[in-house]
A = this chain, B = another copy of it.
Amino acid sequence: MRFSFGKCFPLIVILATSINAVTSLTWAKTLNEAEIKTIEQLKQTALNTDLSYQILESLTTEVGHRRLGTEGDKKAIKWAVAKMKSLGFDKVWTEEVESPQWLRGDIEAQIKAPYPHDMAAIGLGGTVGTPAEGITAPVIEFKTFDDLKAAEKGSLAGKIAFVSYRMQAAIDGSGYGRAVSARGNGASVAAEKGALAFIMRSVGTDNNRSAHTGMMRYKDNIHKIPAAALANPDADILVNALKRDQPVDFYLKITAQHYPKNMIKSASVIGEITGSERPDEIVALGAHLDSWDVGTGAMDDGMGIGIVLATGAEIAKLPTQPKRTIRVILYAGEEVGFYGTKKYMELHKNEIDKHVIGAEWDFGLGKIYQITPGVGAKALNNIHELAQLLTPLGVAMSDKNDAIAQSDMSLLSKAGMPSVNFGADGMRYFDYHHTANDTLDKIDPEDYQQNTAVYMMFAYFAAQSDVDFRK
């Protein structure tokens, strides 16, 4: 999951829309008894087997991390195409994207004086490098990004700016929005004040010495300065050193390189379980294929990949396919700029109204506790029926009807696609997000079975129904 710059974080934004719940005891049931039986069978399959976990294990073992355009990404594309075919998807294709090349290079970060410490740090995605000899300069701390913004122009000349704001954990990830703006824009703001470099406490809720990367952008016409995140324990050491009221000299060396003319290629991978009655109507399930270039991208977004592939696979095994087509979209380059979804919007612009409903998994590390629709008022009762089926799994219906699908799929939602968001427990998500620690062991197999069951039930429910979910 990444932060969409200039846009609101989909899990946080609360639209003014509230539910016009049409309570009625007489509406036609969405699914008949046989269909309900099928949905319950899919649930049992998800809860008693581990296909999604097997897929995730395969991805994290055989591929690993896969930043857009890297060798890992190329392997991931091949892996996804082969996996979809072997899992019984009956159409599988790729949609190519390209992006200018950025190489991460290496990083060295140290407190030089008065108390030398090696720092665990990582360059932010898209940072420029330092001069070859690195930068050594005194650090000026700002407790919040707003404090940095309020600094006077020129006041950071010859200095390294450091934002020490600590992200707070929350079940819905709502601490992220408050912390991440410094990551996106801190370097340019610091450069406007004259800083030589920008460093920040990681956008993360853990105390591990694995710094959190993630995308940043430079503003036009402002000098580009290097930008890095310190692991939280390292940020603590720096804060403690600064408390001692003497200058703290910091050394930063980053060998990152931009090659704006080297266009690197990648692709979204898309597969379908063709609908048996209304094949042109699409139930869209999304996840992103790329990850950051640390860890194995198990959580972000391997979990989503495993869930949507297993959902397609189990539905493909049914004696009769659901009426509508289930389209599983593994987007390219979500982390570095929504490349796959932008291309998708371009290629499918005349087909958006055929997406009868969609959902993306790109957040959470625990059980799903809530379903939030973003559908027409007339379809709310149908969503309530689905929610009732999900109740035994611990999923409650939100009192909002404002869902915009997560991450990539937010673009489809904004173009009119009805959407559902599944709120999964995110208390620990930002412990590992965009770090080397994003590895398979972080996923609890039982929670993951529940996640998968919810998706399978949703997908079958939406694809087998005739409901018009549009607003």
Contact = CB atoms under 8 A, between A and B. Distances in A.
Given A115-B61, A207-B442, A208-B208, A436 B240 contact: no
A413 to B, nearest CB: 34
B117 A237 contact: no
Given A61-B115, A64-B117, A115-B64, A439 B233 contact: yes
Contacts of A63: 115
A210 B442 CA distance: 15
B120 A232 contact: no
A217 interface: no
A210 B211 CA distance: 12
Interface in A151-169: none
A61 B237 contact: yes
Contacts of A188: none
Nearest to A206: B208
A213 interface: no
Interface in A47-71: 57, 60-64
A64 B62 CA distance: 38
A439 B237 contact: yes
A61 B240 contact: yes
A128 to B, nearest CB: 24
A296 interface: yes
Contacts of A117: 64, 296
Contact of A207 (B207, B233, B439): B439
B207 A209 contact: no
Interface string A220-255: 000000000000110011001100100000000000
A79 to B, nearest CB: 10
Interface string A130-143: 00000000000000
Interface in A252-278: none
Interface of A: 57, 60-64, 115-117, 120, 207-210, 232-233, 236-237, 240-241, 244, 295-296, 436-437, 439-442
7 contacts: A60-B240, A61-B115, A61-B240, A120-B436, A207-B439, A207-B442, A237-B439
